[in-house]
Amino acid sequence: MAAKPDKGERLHPNRTSDAVSTFAQELRARIVGQEEAIQEIVRSFAVLTSGLRDTERPLLTLLFMGPTGVGKTETVKVIADTLFGRRNAFTRVNAQEFSSPHQVAKLLGAPPGYVGNEIEPMLSQKNIDRHHKEAFEEKRGIFRKGSGRVQKLFPLDPAHYLSLVLFDEIEKADPTLWNSLLGILDDGNLTLGNNEHTDFTRSILILTSNVGSAQIAKTLRGSMGFHADSHDELNRQVADEALRAAKEVFPYEFLNRFDSILFFRTLGSADLHRILDLYLWDLHARAVRSETPFILDCSDPVRSWLVKQGSDPEFGARPLRRAFAKNVVHPLSNLLSSGQVRPGDLVRAALHGGHVTFARETRTDRGIVVPRPQRKRAARGGA
């Protein structure tokens, strides 16, 4: 006998709201190669906008691990820009500046009656909430449309402020900071030196770590020239080495507090090409808004050459950024400052004799349209 269909209208749990879909598209358009991290962040944002979040814990607690230069800190900046309309709209704790107990005390603020008590602690409620408040008032980020479900979820009320907090390179901090973080990661509460409390239950807390970097670098140096079909195996090996190192450095109760420990994968050639596209879009946007607006056309041979010059698995996308600056940005700056480029010109970048060369063409149509980066559906991740 055939089973009777369930009563009621069928629901689709994989369908997301417009706000969540837009948020995901923004992340994927600007973060290269880190789909797992994007999915985890988007899931958290969906829970937040649904109203089903656990109000007794932080919104999301993540530990980002992996090689240097693959986008761990860059991902936080993209989240900040997407949420609050500015890449620096988050509270950043550079852990290496708090490598001793007395430095950690400065982070939490001085007790009443002690020198420095009048200084606002970095992790005060006012400090972590200010980015939400400013974005709301200036209609930036998720508030730019001025209405909708997101606007209703986050009115201009301190009880509803959302915050993003980064502890960068947490392994370099004194263990007393790790102990302070246990309470934040568990129940979203921190007692400051002045006995005031900071509520982190509306916070996205992200910690980055480069533990195991020496062994990871050795592995990556040995991977030079690896093929695409071995990329996944390389990433699994790097993740295993990072987790092994983390267990040797951090207490178990510390690692067990995170919602997810995410390993940022190494970047392949296709990832570097996408990152170069982002660099070019950003440069083009600056070029057409400059005092001498011009259009840059970068040939495919130049793009491939730049990626080759900037490919080094040990250092991620950073060599590519340096190669782009040295061979494209700096020469263009000289061309502009010396008056060789005129407003409305088309500047073509080509490859000759192993060097990038530039030629100017005068355009009959002097109008310039400020570009918007293309929103690609393909997975993109941190640069």
pLDDT, position 126: 93
Least confident residue range of 143-147, 162-166, 213-217, 268-272: 143-147
pLDDT digits (tens, 9 = 90+) for 284-328: 999 999 999 999 999 999 999 999 999 887 788 899 999 999 999
The answer to whether 87 touches 134, Cβ cutoff 8 Å, is no
The DSSP symbol for 376 reads -
pLDDT, position 376: 43
Q: 136-171: b or e for each residue (b if 16 or more CB lie within 10 Å)?
A: beeebbbbeeeeeebbeebeeeeeebbbbbbbbbbb
* Gap between the Cα atoms of 366 and 294, Å rounded: 9
pLDDT digits (tens, 9 = 90+) for 349-376: 999 999 999 999 886 665 554 444 444 4
Q: Which amino acid type is present at position 138?
A: E
Whole-model pTM: value is 0.81
pLDDT, position 152: 63
Average model confidence (pLDDT) for the chain?
Answer: 84
pLDDT, position 272: 92
The answer to whether 204 touches 40, Cβ cutoff 8 Å, is no
| pLDDT tier at 383, thresholds 50, 70, 90 | very low
* Gap between the Cα atoms of 382 and 275, Å rounded: 9
| pLDDT tier at 55, thresholds 50, 70, 90 | confident
| CA distances to 1, 2, 11, 13, 204 from 5, in Å | 12, 9, 13, 18, 41
Q: Which amino acid type is present at position 166?
A: L
| CA distances to 99, 101, 197, 286, 362 from 175, in Å | 8, 8, 21, 43, 61
Which run of H or E residues covers position 249? Answer: helix 231-249
Q: Please say whether the dihedral angle defined by the alpha carbons of residues 352, 358, 364 and 368, taken in this order, is positive or negative.
A: positive
* Gap between the Cα atoms of 105 and 111, Å rounded: 9
Of 1.10.10.10, 2.60.90.10, 3.40.50.300, 3.30.2270.10, the CATH number of 18-263 is: 3.40.50.300
| pLDDT tier at 107, thresholds 50, 70, 90 | confident
Selection from 330, 326, 331, 322 nearest residue 358 by Cα = 331
R_g of the chain computed on alpha carbons: 24
- Average pLDDT on 108-112 reads 75
Top CATH class, 269-361: mainly alpha
pLDDT, position 229: 53
pLDDT, position 146: 54
The answer to whether 58 touches 203, Cβ cutoff 8 Å, is yes
* Gap between the Cα atoms of 17 and 9, Å rounded: 18
Position 377 pLDDT exceeds 50: no
Domain map (residue ranges) of the chain: 18-263, 269-361
pLDDT digits (tens, 9 = 90+) for 185-232: 999 999 988 888 999 998 999 999 988 877 777 777 766 555 545 677
* Gap between the Cα atoms of 283 and 297, Å rounded: 11
pLDDT digits (tens, 9 = 90+) for 22-34: 888 988 988 888 8
